[in-house]
């Protein structure tokens, strides 16, 4: 009887629910301490997310440059976030680390993050990388490991949207907003990509940050703090070496977002998170239009080539080539020296008798080729020989 009673009591006790010990919430070093996430904390956090993380390059000091994927490899739309190219602008990196854990892992959108686009600069707290290169001025010539890694990602994943996260320092009395944004202004960007990029900035990112109580405006324009009137443009509008322009030339809706680093760290990170909300809303509401615009941009196009000017500055007539060449010829030696950079940009060439190569304009990378190979460009990779017939 005693044995039966013990057995019954044991059975009943097994039915009583035992409170589960809740798993600790995943948090970045910044969220836990209020201090910028360290290199070791970043790596531990990325492992804990369970997301696919791949190494896309290695810095001069041996740190990995990484790509994090959220969502399917075969989704309809690809969105790329480039976080903190400048090492002394850490808020964007923190926002990316936070945001990646909450995105849907199964949807019609693939989200890609380069969560720390300048690992050496972040450790050193410098704008440039450990060799002093400003990565956001290197997306054309690709001299840095960091820019090369990003070029490879853009070539292989063909992102439809590229959101670039930065911060700006005090420049009183002109830069007085909390968040600034800007689209690709290079005139060689296709009309559809340019138009939707400006829509992304003005109609999605702007209301997203302003609904959260932030002030915002167009980046690169000095504004009189009293009258609110623009005084002059100071940012490099059309420069193809800057990612927002390079991204547009490579068929993606480009967007630069800058937060004011005079605010508290939490305010700066939250500002970037609100801007990310705007981009996500834009993608969710405009997938068909985005896909159509990128497809038209990638198609073989005709028309003039611009070596100057911007969407807010008419080009000098001498910077407009109404009838571009059919292509550019590289000697065998030039191709051996610069072929890697052309390949990273997704530019194809054809072998000519004698060992020379011809790069025809009639290909997906048309908008970028003259800016890399023509002597009239601001910063060509090399000055190749233009030819009228291919």
Structure tokens at 101: 């854990």
The number of angstroms, rounded, from the C-alpha of 139 to the middle of its chain's C-alpha atoms is 11
C-alpha triplet 101, 102, 106: angle, nearest 5°: 95
Report how far residue 384's alpha carbon sits from residue 370's, in angstroms, rounded to the nearest whole number. 9
Of 116, 231, 257, 232, residue with least CA distance to 179: 257
Which one from 258, 270, 334, 341 is the annotated catalytic residue?
258
Of 257, 266, 273, 260, give the one whose Cα is nearest residue 176: 260
Q: How far apart are CA 92 and CA 98, in angstroms?
A: 10
- Cβ-contact 241, 138 below 8 angstroms: yes
Q: Tokens for 357?
A: 């190569």
DSSP alpha helix (H) spans, the chain: 2-15, 29-33, 39-49, 91-100, 119-124, 145-157, 191-199, 206-210, 243-249, 265-285, 287-298, 332-344, 369-373
Under a CB-based contact definition with an 8 Å cutoff, are residues 166 and 85 in contact? yes
Judge contact between 111 and 204, C-beta under 8 A: no
258 is catalytic: yes
CA dihedral sign of residues 105, 106, 109, 112: positive
Question: What phi and psi, each to the nearest 5 degrees, are found at residue 150?
Answer: -70, -35
Q: β-strands 216-218, 179-182: how paired?
A: parallel
| Beta carbons within 8 Å of 184's beta carbon, 6+ residues apart | 193, 194, 197, 244, 245, 247, 248, 249, 254
Backbone φ and ψ for 292, nearest 5 degrees, come out as -65, -45
146 vs 151: CA distance, rounded Å? 9
Active-site positions read 258
């Amino acid at each position: 009887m005693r044995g039966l009673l013990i057995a019954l009591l044991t059975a009943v006790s097994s039915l009583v629910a035992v409170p589960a010990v809740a798993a600790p919430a995943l948090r970045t070093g910044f969220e836990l301490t209020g201090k910028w996430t360290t290199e070791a904390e970043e790596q531990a956090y990325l492992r804990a997310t369970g997301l696919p993380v791949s190494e896309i390059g290695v810095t001069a000091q041996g740190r990995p440059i990484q790509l994090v994927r959220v969502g399917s490899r075969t989704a309809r739309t690809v969105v790329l976030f480039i976080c903190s190219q400048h090492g002394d602008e850490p808020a964007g990196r923190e926002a990316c680390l936070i945001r990646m854990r909450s995105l849907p892992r199964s949807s019609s959108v693939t989200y890609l993050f380069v969560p720390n686009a300048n690992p050496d600069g972040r450790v050193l707290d410098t704008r440039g990388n450990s060799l002093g290169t400003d990565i956001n001025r290197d997306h054309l010539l690709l001299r840095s490991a960091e820019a090369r890694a990003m070029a490879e990602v853009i070539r292989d994943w063909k992102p439809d949207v590229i959101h670039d996260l930065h911060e700006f320092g005090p420049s009183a009395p002109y830069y007085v907003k909390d968040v600034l944004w800007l689209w690709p202004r290079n005139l060689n960007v296709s009309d559809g990509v340019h138009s939707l990029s400006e829509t992304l900035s003005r109609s999605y990112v702007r209301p997203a940050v302003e609904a959260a109580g932030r002030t915002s405006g167009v980046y690169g324009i000095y504004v009189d703090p009293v009258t609110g009137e623009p005084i002059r443009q100071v940012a490099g509008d059309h420069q193809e070496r800057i990612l927002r322009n390079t991204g547009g030339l490579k068929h993606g809706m480009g967007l630069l977002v800058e937060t004011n680093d005079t605010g508290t760290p939490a305010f700066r990170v939250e500002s970037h998170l609100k801007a990310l909300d705007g981009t996500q809303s834009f993608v969710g509401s405009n997938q068909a239009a985005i896909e159509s615009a990128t497809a038209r941009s990638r198609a073989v196009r005709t028309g003039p080539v611009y070596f100057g000017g911007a969407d807010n500055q008419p080009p000098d007539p001498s910077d407009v080539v109404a009838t571009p060449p059919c292509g550019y010829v590289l000697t065998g030696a030039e191709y051996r020296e610069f072929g890697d950079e052309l390949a990273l940009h997704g530019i194809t060439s054809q072998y000519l008798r004698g060992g020379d190569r011809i790069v025809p304009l009639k290909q997906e990378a048309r908008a970028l080729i003259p800016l890399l190979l023509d002597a009239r460009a601001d910063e060509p990779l090399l000055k190749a020989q233009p030819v009228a017939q291919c």
